[in-house]
Amino acid sequence: MYSYEDRLRAVRLYIKLGKRIGLTIRQLGYPTKNALRSWYREYDQQEDLSDGYTRLPRYSEMQKAQAIDHYLANGRCIAATVASLGYPSRSLLGAWLQELHLQKRARVTGRSEELAPEAKRSAVIALCTRPASAQEVADEIGVCRGSLYKWKNQLLSQDAIALMKRQPDIPESSDRTKLEEQLETLRREIRRLQLEKDLLKKANELLKKELGIDRQHLTNREKTLLVDALSPSYTLTELLCELNLPRSSYFYHRARLKVADKYAEVRLVMTDIFERNYRCYGYRRLKASLSDQCVNVSEKVVRRLMKQERLVAATSKRRRYGSYMGEISPAPENLLNRDFSAGAPNEKWLTDITEFQIPAGKVYLGRLEKTE
């Protein structure tokens, strides 16, 4: 709320600066544009500003009188009056009653005297066996209605209180909190591992992949198939994060899967030609066979369809080169049979031949050893 001097200063500066609102607000630091315009209109019409603003009452005197009459004529219940008329609030109606009808409801000021336990017990009995409203019982005793219900809860058994009153939450100890956090962490880890297992199984079932396949090597289309297969058991966010699949890519391939395959008939014809020719046709001969049947597709399409249908032609592997052509003479008899022990000198001679490569060619060194 701005004072009279602040508003007058703002209007005069606004006129001095040529009615430029932005410049005026930047120099003063206040007010808003709408407030400055309204102040100027008032100053222009009255050549001055009012001292302040008087807020109009929300409810008229007739509405106040109607609410008070309804309260007096219908059991003097504030809640019922507010519910019936739809106005005002309980606190405002209570203020009206205290303002106009002080003799109807005594106002308690200061600290009241503490009642004896017998008096409280009698008040609770009167509350439970009352023929009229609880407010009338409270007025007769000289206390507020809330005190009666408070004494009632205190004097009733603990079982009854538990049924009527919600028990406060028991603060958990730090150890229990840590254990629950660990338990929640383990549950999330178990769910993640179960998700990895289900992804590998579905990749093996739907895509015919090996169980040890790396999920990151799958195409986005294959990942989309896995997400759709596991969507009843896991959330979409979990599956997309685990497969590292962007959400936009998932919805794109999902829409593409619903489109009919324009090469469906070509796939059948290709598979039939491939099987009838003993699975030995490559993409060139398949392309030629399709052209003979008036099916015109490019070589790239044929290769892509063969890859998708797993049509791999059988080829003979090239044998590794080996220079070994066999022994030039029959192998000598194995007389020692790895028994190098001898009963007398010069009975067995042992040797080991080592090959050396020199510029003049290969030389061999043989060493003889006598066993004794």
Dihedral, CA of residue 316, residue 318, residue 324 and residue 326, to nearest 10:
10
The least confident of 117-126, 265-274, 358-367 is: 117-126
Residues 6+ apart with CB under 8 A from 371: 340, 341, 342, 347, 348, 349, 350
52 lies in some domain = no
What mean pLDDT, rounded, does the chain reach?
83
Per residue in 124-157, pLDDT tens?
A: 888 888 887 888 888 888 888 888 888 888 887 5
Tell whether 228 and 283 lie within a shared domain. no
329 lies in some domain = no
Per residue in 272-290, pLDDT tens?
A: 999 999 999 999 999 999 9
Compute how many other C-beta atoms are within 10 angstroms of the C-beta atom of residue 72: 13
Identify the CATH number of the domain in which residue 149 sits: 1.10.10
Q: What is the mean pLDDT of residues 43-58?
A: 74
129 lies in some domain = yes
Looking at residue 103, its pLDDT comes to 42
Tell whether 120 and 190 lie within a shared domain. no
67 lies in some domain = no
71 lies in some domain = no
Token output for 162 = 């538990």
352 lies in some domain = no
284 lies in some domain = yes
Tell whether 254 and 187 lie within a shared domain. yes
Q: What is the mean pLDDT of residues 87-112?
A: 68
Tell whether 158 and 133 lie within a shared domain. yes
Tell me the HSE value of 91 on the side-chain side, using a 13 A CA sphere. Answer: 0
CA distances from 117 to 124, 151, 154, 221 (A): 11, 10, 11, 79
Looking at residue 307, its pLDDT comes to 92
Q: What letter represents residue 165's amino acid?
A: K
pLDDT band for 19, please (50, 70, 90 cuts).
confident
Per DSSP, the chain holds a count of helices (H) and strands (E) of 17, 2
Tell whether 200 and 248 lie within a shared domain. yes
Per residue in 155-184, pLDDT tens?
A: 875 445 554 545 555 555 678 888 999 999
Tell whether 274 and 253 lie within a shared domain. no
19 lies in some domain = yes
Separation CA 348–CA 345 (nearest Å): 8
The answer to whether the CB of 67 falls within 8 A of the CB of 94 is no
Looking at residue 157, its pLDDT comes to 57
Looking at residue 110, its pLDDT comes to 52
Separation CA 354–CA 338 (nearest Å): 20
Residue 297 sits in which domain range? Answer: 264-309
User: How would you label 239-250 residue by residue, b for 16+ Cβ within 10 Å and e otherwise?
Assistant: bbebbebeeeeb
Q: What is the pTM of this model?
A: 0.33
Separation CA 68–CA 96 (nearest Å): 8
Tally the domains of the chain: 4
